[in-house]
Structure 1
Amino acid sequence: MVDMSVRVQAEDFDAGAEISRLRLSRPDTGAVVSFVGQVRDLNDGEQVSTLTLEHYPGMTEAALENIIATAKQRWNIFDALVIHRVGELKPTDEIVLVAVSGAHRGEAFSACEFIMDFLKTEAPFWKKEQTPNGERWVEAKISDDAARERWQV
Protein backbone atom coordinates (compact mmCIF):
# COMPACT_ATOMS: atom_id res chain seq x y z
CA MET A 1 0.00 0.00 0.00
CA VAL A 2 1.27 3.48 -0.89
CA ASP A 3 1.22 6.00 1.93
CA MET A 4 -0.92 9.07 1.39
CA SER A 5 1.29 11.53 -0.35
CA VAL A 6 1.64 15.29 -0.56
CA ARG A 7 4.25 17.06 -2.65
CA VAL A 8 4.63 20.80 -3.10
CA GLN A 9 7.26 21.45 -5.75
CA ALA A 10 8.46 23.79 -8.48
CA GLU A 11 9.15 20.92 -10.89
CA ASP A 12 6.60 19.65 -13.38
CA PHE A 13 5.07 16.22 -12.83
CA ASP A 14 3.93 13.39 -15.08
CA ALA A 15 0.26 12.95 -14.21
CA GLY A 16 0.00 9.68 -16.14
CA ALA A 17 2.96 8.13 -14.34
CA GLU A 18 1.69 9.32 -10.94
CA ILE A 19 -1.79 7.93 -11.58
CA SER A 20 -0.34 4.64 -12.82
CA ARG A 21 1.78 4.31 -9.68
CA LEU A 22 -1.30 4.85 -7.53
CA ARG A 23 -3.35 2.43 -9.64
CA LEU A 24 -0.79 -0.34 -9.42
CA SER A 25 -0.10 0.05 -5.70
CA ARG A 26 -2.87 -2.37 -4.66
CA PRO A 27 -4.36 -5.30 -6.58
CA ASP A 28 -7.78 -4.65 -5.01
CA THR A 29 -8.00 -1.16 -6.51
CA GLY A 30 -11.15 -0.87 -8.58
CA ALA A 31 -11.08 2.86 -9.28
CA VAL A 32 -8.67 5.74 -9.58
CA VAL A 33 -10.16 9.19 -9.97
CA SER A 34 -8.00 12.19 -10.76
CA PHE A 35 -8.11 15.91 -11.38
CA VAL A 36 -5.40 17.92 -13.12
CA GLY A 37 -5.56 21.70 -12.96
CA GLN A 38 -3.61 23.90 -15.35
CA VAL A 39 -2.84 27.56 -15.90
CA ARG A 40 -5.31 29.36 -18.16
CA ASP A 41 -4.31 32.19 -20.46
CA LEU A 42 -7.39 34.21 -19.48
CA ASN A 43 -8.82 35.03 -16.06
CA ASP A 44 -11.53 37.53 -15.17
CA GLY A 45 -11.47 38.84 -18.74
CA GLU A 46 -7.74 39.57 -18.87
CA GLN A 47 -4.90 37.80 -20.63
CA VAL A 48 -2.52 36.01 -18.26
CA SER A 49 1.09 35.54 -19.35
CA THR A 50 2.36 34.00 -16.11
CA LEU A 51 0.98 32.78 -12.81
CA THR A 52 3.27 32.80 -9.79
CA LEU A 53 2.26 30.56 -6.89
CA GLU A 54 3.63 31.09 -3.42
CA HIS A 55 3.07 29.00 -0.31
CA TYR A 56 3.95 28.73 3.36
CA PRO A 57 6.41 25.78 3.53
CA GLY A 58 5.53 23.22 6.16
CA MET A 59 2.13 24.74 6.85
CA THR A 60 0.97 24.07 3.30
CA GLU A 61 1.98 20.41 3.38
CA ALA A 62 0.38 19.96 6.82
CA ALA A 63 -2.88 21.49 5.56
CA LEU A 64 -2.92 19.17 2.53
CA GLU A 65 -2.14 16.12 4.69
CA ASN A 66 -5.02 17.08 7.00
CA ILE A 67 -7.40 17.39 4.05
CA ILE A 68 -6.42 13.91 2.82
CA ALA A 69 -6.78 12.47 6.33
CA THR A 70 -10.29 13.94 6.57
CA ALA A 71 -11.21 12.46 3.17
CA LYS A 72 -9.94 9.06 4.31
CA GLN A 73 -12.17 9.29 7.38
CA ARG A 74 -15.26 10.23 5.35
CA TRP A 75 -14.91 7.80 2.45
CA ASN A 76 -13.67 4.27 2.03
CA ILE A 77 -10.63 5.05 -0.12
CA PHE A 78 -7.24 3.40 -0.23
CA ASP A 79 -4.85 6.24 -1.03
CA ALA A 80 -4.73 9.84 -2.15
CA LEU A 81 -2.05 11.90 -3.82
CA VAL A 82 -1.77 15.68 -4.07
CA ILE A 83 0.99 17.32 -6.07
CA HIS A 84 0.87 21.12 -6.18
CA ARG A 85 3.37 23.27 -8.01
CA VAL A 86 4.78 26.60 -6.87
CA GLY A 87 6.85 29.23 -8.61
CA GLU A 88 6.31 30.85 -11.98
CA LEU A 89 4.08 28.97 -14.43
CA LYS A 90 2.85 29.72 -17.92
CA PRO A 91 -0.50 28.99 -19.61
CA THR A 92 -1.07 25.23 -20.13
CA ASP A 93 1.44 24.34 -17.37
CA GLU A 94 0.02 21.86 -14.88
CA ILE A 95 -0.58 23.32 -11.42
CA VAL A 96 -2.13 20.52 -9.40
CA LEU A 97 -2.83 16.80 -9.45
CA VAL A 98 -5.30 15.21 -7.07
CA ALA A 99 -5.67 11.44 -7.45
CA VAL A 100 -7.63 9.03 -5.27
CA SER A 101 -7.76 5.24 -5.35
CA GLY A 102 -10.36 2.95 -3.87
CA ALA A 103 -12.39 -0.17 -4.42
CA HIS A 104 -15.30 1.70 -6.04
CA ARG A 105 -15.66 4.80 -8.21
CA GLY A 106 -18.31 6.59 -6.12
CA GLU A 107 -16.15 6.85 -3.03
CA ALA A 108 -13.11 7.84 -5.09
CA PHE A 109 -15.03 10.55 -7.01
CA SER A 110 -16.42 12.07 -3.83
CA ALA A 111 -13.07 12.04 -2.04
CA CYS A 112 -11.25 13.55 -5.03
CA GLU A 113 -13.77 16.38 -5.35
CA PHE A 114 -13.71 17.00 -1.58
CA ILE A 115 -9.90 17.19 -1.54
CA MET A 116 -9.85 19.66 -4.43
CA ASP A 117 -12.61 21.84 -2.93
CA PHE A 118 -10.81 22.05 0.41
CA LEU A 119 -7.40 22.55 -1.21
CA LYS A 120 -8.75 25.66 -2.96
CA THR A 121 -9.92 27.22 0.31
CA GLU A 122 -7.85 25.74 3.14
CA ALA A 123 -4.30 25.27 1.82
CA PRO A 124 -2.10 28.38 2.15
CA PHE A 125 -1.27 29.19 -1.47
CA TRP A 126 -1.19 32.65 -3.00
CA LYS A 127 -1.47 33.35 -6.72
CA LYS A 128 -0.16 36.37 -8.61
CA GLU A 129 -0.98 36.86 -12.29
CA GLN A 130 0.97 38.85 -14.83
CA THR A 131 -1.46 40.62 -17.18
CA PRO A 132 -1.05 43.35 -19.82
CA ASN A 133 -2.09 45.81 -17.07
CA GLY A 134 0.58 44.59 -14.64
CA GLU A 135 0.68 42.14 -11.75
CA ARG A 136 -2.33 41.34 -9.61
CA TRP A 137 -3.03 38.97 -6.74
CA VAL A 138 -5.83 36.50 -7.38
CA GLU A 139 -8.66 36.98 -4.90
CA ALA A 140 -10.51 34.12 -3.25
CA LYS A 141 -13.73 33.23 -5.07
CA ILE A 142 -17.16 32.97 -3.51
CA SER A 143 -17.77 29.92 -5.71
CA ASP A 144 -14.80 28.13 -4.07
CA ASP A 145 -16.22 28.85 -0.61
CA ALA A 146 -19.63 27.58 -1.73
CA ALA A 147 -18.07 24.37 -3.08
CA ARG A 148 -16.36 23.80 0.27
CA GLU A 149 -19.52 24.55 2.27
CA ARG A 150 -21.53 21.82 0.57
CA TRP A 151 -19.29 19.23 2.28
CA GLN A 152 -20.09 20.49 5.79
CA VAL A 153 -21.85 17.92 7.91
Structure 2
Amino acid sequence: MSKAYFNETMAKLAASWQGAHCRELDDASWLLVFSQDLTASADYCPFTEQLVLFAPVITLDSQTRNTDFLLRLLNANFSWDETKGACFAIEQDIIALVWRHPLKMLEQIKLQDALLSFSETVSHWKSRMQEVEQTAETMASSVPDNGVLC
Protein backbone atom coordinates (compact mmCIF):
# COMPACT_ATOMS: atom_id res chain seq x y z
CA MET A 1 0.00 0.00 0.00
CA SER A 2 1.22 3.45 -0.71
CA LYS A 3 0.46 7.13 -0.70
CA ALA A 4 -0.77 6.74 -4.29
CA TYR A 5 -3.28 4.09 -3.17
CA PHE A 6 -4.42 6.36 -0.33
CA ASN A 7 -4.95 9.30 -2.70
CA GLU A 8 -6.68 7.13 -5.29
CA THR A 9 -9.06 5.77 -2.65
CA MET A 10 -9.77 9.24 -1.28
CA ALA A 11 -10.33 10.68 -4.78
CA LYS A 12 -12.84 7.92 -5.58
CA LEU A 13 -14.56 8.60 -2.27
CA ALA A 14 -14.69 12.35 -2.95
CA ALA A 15 -16.24 11.75 -6.38
CA SER A 16 -18.95 9.36 -5.23
CA TRP A 17 -19.77 9.89 -1.56
CA GLN A 18 -22.59 12.20 -0.51
CA GLY A 19 -21.82 11.90 3.23
CA ALA A 20 -19.22 14.67 3.33
CA HIS A 21 -17.32 17.13 1.23
CA CYS A 22 -13.79 15.80 0.63
CA ARG A 23 -10.94 17.96 -0.60
CA GLU A 24 -7.27 17.14 -1.08
CA LEU A 25 -5.02 19.38 1.03
CA ASP A 26 -1.69 17.94 -0.08
CA ASP A 27 -0.31 14.63 -1.32
CA ALA A 28 -0.91 12.89 2.02
CA SER A 29 -3.84 14.75 3.58
CA TRP A 30 -7.52 15.35 2.85
CA LEU A 31 -10.07 17.61 4.52
CA LEU A 32 -13.46 16.04 5.30
CA VAL A 33 -16.37 18.38 6.01
CA PHE A 34 -19.35 16.51 7.44
CA SER A 35 -21.24 19.61 8.58
CA GLN A 36 -20.61 23.23 9.48
CA ASP A 37 -19.27 22.29 12.90
CA LEU A 38 -17.82 18.85 12.16
CA THR A 39 -14.60 18.51 10.17
CA ALA A 40 -11.81 15.98 10.13
CA SER A 41 -8.57 15.35 8.36
CA ALA A 42 -7.72 12.06 6.69
CA ASP A 43 -3.97 11.56 6.56
CA TYR A 44 -1.65 8.90 5.20
CA CYS A 45 1.03 7.73 7.63
CA PRO A 46 3.92 6.33 5.56
CA PHE A 47 5.65 4.71 8.55
CA THR A 48 2.70 2.50 9.49
CA GLU A 49 0.83 2.61 6.14
CA GLN A 50 -2.31 3.65 7.97
CA LEU A 51 -5.19 5.99 7.38
CA VAL A 52 -5.30 8.43 10.30
CA LEU A 53 -8.48 10.41 10.96
CA PHE A 54 -8.22 13.46 13.23
CA ALA A 55 -11.24 15.51 14.32
CA PRO A 56 -11.28 18.35 16.83
CA VAL A 57 -13.97 17.85 19.47
CA ILE A 58 -13.60 20.70 21.96
CA THR A 59 -11.15 23.40 23.01
CA LEU A 60 -9.81 23.12 26.53
CA ASP A 61 -10.72 26.06 28.72
CA SER A 62 -10.86 26.80 32.43
CA GLN A 63 -14.00 24.64 32.76
CA THR A 64 -12.58 21.56 31.05
CA ARG A 65 -8.94 21.86 32.09
CA ASN A 66 -9.37 19.90 35.30
CA THR A 67 -8.37 16.49 36.56
CA ASP A 68 -11.87 14.99 36.72
CA PHE A 69 -12.67 15.91 33.13
CA LEU A 70 -9.36 14.63 31.78
CA LEU A 71 -9.65 11.39 33.78
CA ARG A 72 -13.06 10.80 32.21
CA LEU A 73 -11.43 11.12 28.78
CA LEU A 74 -8.76 8.61 29.75
CA ASN A 75 -11.43 6.19 30.95
CA ALA A 76 -13.25 6.54 27.62
CA ASN A 77 -9.97 5.71 25.85
CA PHE A 78 -9.44 2.66 28.02
CA SER A 79 -12.66 0.90 27.09
CA TRP A 80 -12.74 1.95 23.40
CA ASP A 81 -16.39 0.92 23.19
CA GLU A 82 -17.31 4.51 24.07
CA THR A 83 -15.14 5.85 21.25
CA LYS A 84 -15.69 3.04 18.72
CA GLY A 85 -11.97 2.40 18.41
CA ALA A 86 -10.89 6.04 18.27
CA CYS A 87 -8.74 7.60 20.98
CA PHE A 88 -8.85 11.01 22.58
CA ALA A 89 -5.74 13.10 22.10
CA ILE A 90 -4.76 16.57 23.20
CA GLU A 91 -2.89 18.80 20.80
CA GLN A 92 -2.13 22.19 22.31
CA ASP A 93 -5.56 23.22 23.66
CA ILE A 94 -7.66 21.01 21.40
CA ILE A 95 -9.17 17.70 22.45
CA ALA A 96 -9.55 15.54 19.36
CA LEU A 97 -10.58 12.04 18.42
CA VAL A 98 -8.01 10.10 16.43
CA TRP A 99 -8.70 6.85 14.59
CA ARG A 100 -6.16 4.70 12.75
CA HIS A 101 -6.72 1.87 10.31
CA PRO A 102 -4.36 -0.12 8.05
CA LEU A 103 -4.73 1.01 4.45
CA LYS A 104 -4.34 -2.49 3.09
CA MET A 105 -7.54 -3.48 4.90
CA LEU A 106 -9.64 -0.62 3.52
CA GLU A 107 -11.90 -0.74 0.54
CA GLN A 108 -13.86 2.28 -0.63
CA ILE A 109 -17.17 0.94 0.72
CA LYS A 110 -15.68 0.11 4.11
CA LEU A 111 -14.03 3.53 4.15
CA GLN A 112 -17.41 5.22 3.72
CA ASP A 113 -18.80 3.19 6.62
CA ALA A 114 -15.74 3.96 8.75
CA LEU A 115 -15.97 7.69 8.04
CA LEU A 116 -19.67 7.75 8.83
CA SER A 117 -19.09 5.89 12.09
CA PHE A 118 -16.21 8.22 12.99
CA SER A 119 -18.30 11.34 12.29
CA GLU A 120 -21.15 9.97 14.44
CA THR A 121 -18.70 9.27 17.27
CA VAL A 122 -17.20 12.76 17.05
CA SER A 123 -20.67 14.32 16.97
CA HIS A 124 -21.71 12.29 20.02
CA TRP A 125 -18.65 13.41 22.00
CA LYS A 126 -19.04 17.04 20.93
CA SER A 127 -22.55 16.98 22.44
CA ARG A 128 -21.39 15.26 25.62
CA MET A 129 -18.54 17.71 26.12
CA GLN A 130 -20.75 20.72 25.47
CA GLU A 131 -23.06 19.42 28.20
CA VAL A 132 -20.07 19.15 30.56
CA GLU A 133 -19.08 22.73 29.71
CA GLN A 134 -22.61 24.02 30.30
CA THR A 135 -22.87 22.17 33.61
CA ALA A 136 -19.52 23.59 34.73
CA GLU A 137 -20.57 27.11 33.70
CA THR A 138 -23.87 26.77 35.58
CA MET A 139 -22.05 25.58 38.69
CA ALA A 140 -19.51 28.39 38.41
CA SER A 141 -22.26 31.01 38.09
CA SER A 142 -24.06 29.65 41.17
CA VAL A 143 -21.06 30.19 43.45
CA PRO A 144 -21.94 33.00 45.88
CA ASP A 145 -19.49 35.72 46.76
CA ASN A 146 -18.39 33.83 49.89
CA GLY A 147 -17.13 30.96 47.70
CA VAL A 148 -19.55 28.33 49.03
CA LEU A 149 -21.49 26.28 46.48
CA CYS A 150 -25.30 26.55 46.77
Q: Smaller-chain TM-score range?
A: 0.3 to 0.5
Which structure carries more relative contact order (alpha carbon 8 Å, separation 6+)? Answer: 1
Richer in strand (by share): 1
Q: Calculate the TM-score normalised by the size of structure 1.
A: 0.37
Q: Calculate the TM-score normalised by the size of structure 2.
A: 0.37
Richer in helix (by share): 2
